[in-house]
Amino acid sequence: MNIQMQVCGLIILVLILYFYKRQDTVGLYTETLFRRALYTCIICLVLDILSVVMIMSQAFFPGWLVRAECKLYLLSLGATGYVALVYACADAYGLTRVNQFVKRMGIVAAAVGVLIFLLPIHIYCEGRDVYTYGPSCIATYISAVLLILVTLFYTAKRGNGMNPRRRRAIRIWMTIWLISAGIQLLNSQVLLVGFAGALGIVVLFFELENPEANIDRNTGFFNARTFTDYIKYKYDSGEEISCILLSLDNAHANDIRVEHIVDIMEEVTELVRRVPEARRFKTDDREFTLVFESNEQMERAYNMINNRFQREWLEDMESVTPVSLQPYYLLVPSGKVAESADEMMGFLRYFKSHCVDNPEKYVIMIDEESVAKKRDRDVMLAAIMKAMEDDRVEVFFQPIYSTHTKRFVSAEALVRIRREDGSIIPPGLFIPIAEETGLIVKLGERVFEKVCHFITERCPEQYGVEYIEINLSVVQCEAKSLAKCYSDIMDKYQINPAFINLEITESASIVMKKTLLDNMRALINYGVSFSLDDFGNGQSNLNYIVDMPVHIVKFDRDMTQAYFESEKARYVLQAATDMIQGLGLKVVAEGVETAEQLRELERLGIDYIQGYYFSKPIEEERYLEFLKVKNASERQNE
Ligand code: C2E
Ligand code: MG
Ligand code: MG
């Protein structure tokens, strides 16, 4: 009897079923489909073996029963092909479309099944060679080959939308089947097709359906890959979920000594294990994601975890680690905040980086409000990139007045983005986003280059301008290449470096301060001078002025305004001015809006005045006009 192959296949499938059943599955649709394929294949092999046995023992069974059994086997063969097709499409087309497809194709499949069952079948039995042939078999082979080809077609057509491992596994399965069907067609005695189905299941199991591969070995929770699949499945099926992402991977946790991390992670794993009603995922080294069916469950779990961290934990841990242990949380309430699973994964990535960069933000609710903000940010980011591409980045100049020479000796260069409709986007809307994404480096270079171009082309020195101030972002100062890049640009435009004054703001980090200082020294050696911008905006530190090689200090608009509103502020500004000038530095007051303010600050001895009283930031042409008129008239007044 030629059933050894089928028996082997059956044993393998039963073993796979055994291992499969031993593990927890997360409940994905593909898991259901895989189980369906596995059962169908087992039934197919059992019927295959049974048909050979019945044919060999025809004497004991009525002929119609043997033929009916053989046809049942053929039907199960077709069913296996059909299940494989549905399994392949579930990934490529999503659940909803596959359900529609199953409904539509189900009728066709049933019709083909009835046809196979009604068509005649012939049985060949000669010694140990046994096989069936005739119209019913031909119909089965044709439909099976068609199913295989359609499956291959879909995996080719929609292959990019599929999990690449699934695509590969399905292709291998289908190819094995086609080859075995071809061999069986040429040599009817070799009954390969049922066994080939079993081989396909083996490939699927080891490539992607082994539940063991979905489990994180250390914790026994589902792993990150399974989380991605799970979210995709939930979005496809339209089911709402709530989740908590809990991470220790932030600035606080970085202070924890490495040898304590293992202990802490063990404790946190136990804590997560105790959270009721949750599907647990270990989504990164120090990160867990818990999925719930309702917001109430999520809130209960959040309170439970947070309480543990807030109180008992810190007391317990005091002996182990001296730092406070503050994880960060992303809470995703149910509801359609994201359009797709990919978008949701993008939100998680984005808000995670937000928490890592801002340690004080340790709970972020990913709800409609925060998502709307993120979307606005994305729109702005795209607008910045497009503006850079289309060269719609412009530089405006705000004149700066010298109280000593009574002339406009300088200007601050301020970036603007012009929208396609001609309107202007102010820097307050895009600079923070450009800084967050690092785009500020390119944007800053572009502004600097435009200013240099302006200086060489329009020679503002002929109208009395002595230097131009240009803002440097903290992010730019972090780049070691800054000094080289800026001096290269000055070389390119043959700029006298004394014409350039770069504005820096205070920066907190010591690591960064070193790079900033290196950059500053290199540029000062080249001939450039520096200003300290935004002095008095809350984070000012007098030591900073002493430490940093700046030539000018710029009083923030708030500080200037406060001078006219409170006596205390008046003393502070006065004392600061004395100290700064005592150090041999110059002072600029920003945000001067009235003649009285100008007079008072002049009386105080402030060196330079910048503000709307003289002019708002204006385009280069208007700035030159301004200089021609104002500096000429000031000269006449002298
Ligand atoms: P900043 O460097 O402190 O620039 C001064 C800001 O105060 C400018 O706003 C200016 O228009 C505004 N201002 C000046 N005088 C007055 C006044 O009398 N009244 C009022 N209400 N405002 C006044 P702007 O142009 O919107 O720039 C805002 C900030 O954006 C700048 O503050 C600077 O931090 C940043 N920025 C602008 N251009 C650049 C750039 O090219 N690179 C970088 N990194 N940052 C820039
Ligand atoms: Mg500035
Ligand atoms: Mg300023």
The Å distance, Cα 556 to ligand 3 centre, comes to 5
The Å distance, Cα 284 to ligand 3 centre, comes to 41
The Å distance, Cα 292 to ligand 2 centre, comes to 49
The Å distance, Cα 488 to ligand 2 centre, comes to 23
Does ligand 1 have an atom closer than 6 angstroms to the CB of 611? yes
Does ligand 1 have an atom closer than 6 angstroms to the CB of 432? no
Q: What percent of the chain has pLDDT over 70?
A: 93
Residue 320 has pLDDT above 60, yes or no: no
Give the pLDDT confidence of 162-208 residue by residue, as tens digits: 778 888 888 888 888 888 888 877 876 777 788 888 888 888 888 87
Does ligand 1 have an atom closer than 6 angstroms to the CB of 415? yes
Amino acid identity at 112: V
Give the pLDDT confidence of 336-379 residue by residue, as tens digits: 888 889 999 999 999 998 887 777 778 999 999 999 999 999 99
Q: Extract the tokens encoding 69.
A: 């059994």
Contacts of 51-55 with C-beta under 8 Å, sequence gap 24+, read 51/132, 52/1, 52/2, 52/3, 52/6, 52/130, 52/191, 53/1, 53/3, 55/123, 55/125, 55/130, 55/132
Question: Could you identify the atom of ligand 1 that is nearest to the CA of residue 592?
Answer: 18
Give the pLDDT confidence of 108-161 residue by residue, as tens digits: 888 999 999 999 999 888 877 788 888 998 898 888 888 888 888 888 887 777
2 contacts: CB under 8 Å, gap ≥ 6: 52, 128, 129, 130, 189, 190, 191
The Å distance, Cα 534 to ligand 3 centre, comes to 4
Question: Could you identify the atom of ligand 1 that is nearest to the CA of residue 556?
Answer: 3
Nearest to 451 by CA among 398, 397, 504: 397
339 contacts: CB under 8 Å, gap ≥ 6: none
Residue 577 has pLDDT above 60, yes or no: yes
Helix, strand, coil percentages in the chain from 3-state DSSP, rounded to 5:
65, 15, 25
Does ligand 1 have an atom closer than 6 angstroms to the CB of 610? yes
546 contacts: CB under 8 Å, gap ≥ 6: 583
Q: Which helix (DSSP H) or strand (DSSP E) does residue 470 occupy? A: strand 467-471
Residue 311 has pLDDT above 70, yes or no: no
Give the pLDDT confidence of 15-27 residue by residue, as tens digits: 999 999 988 888 8
pLDDT of 634: 53
Question: Could you identify the atom of ligand 1 that is nearest to the CA of residue 435?
Answer: 44
Chain mean position to CA 186: 53
Give the pLDDT confidence of 253-272 residue by residue, as tens digits: 556 666 677 778 888 899 99
Query: What's the average model confidence in pLDDT over 390-399?
Result: 97
Tell if the pTM clears 0.75, that is, is over it.
Answer: no
Give the pLDDT confidence of 481-530 residue by residue, as tens digits: 999 999 999 999 999 999 999 999 987 566 678 899 999 999 999 999 99
**What whole-number distance in Å separates Cα of residue 208 and Cα of residue 483?**
52
Q: By the 8 A CB rule, do 401 and 609 touch? A: yes
Question: Could you identify the atom of ligand 1 that is nearest to the CA of residue 473?
Answer: 44
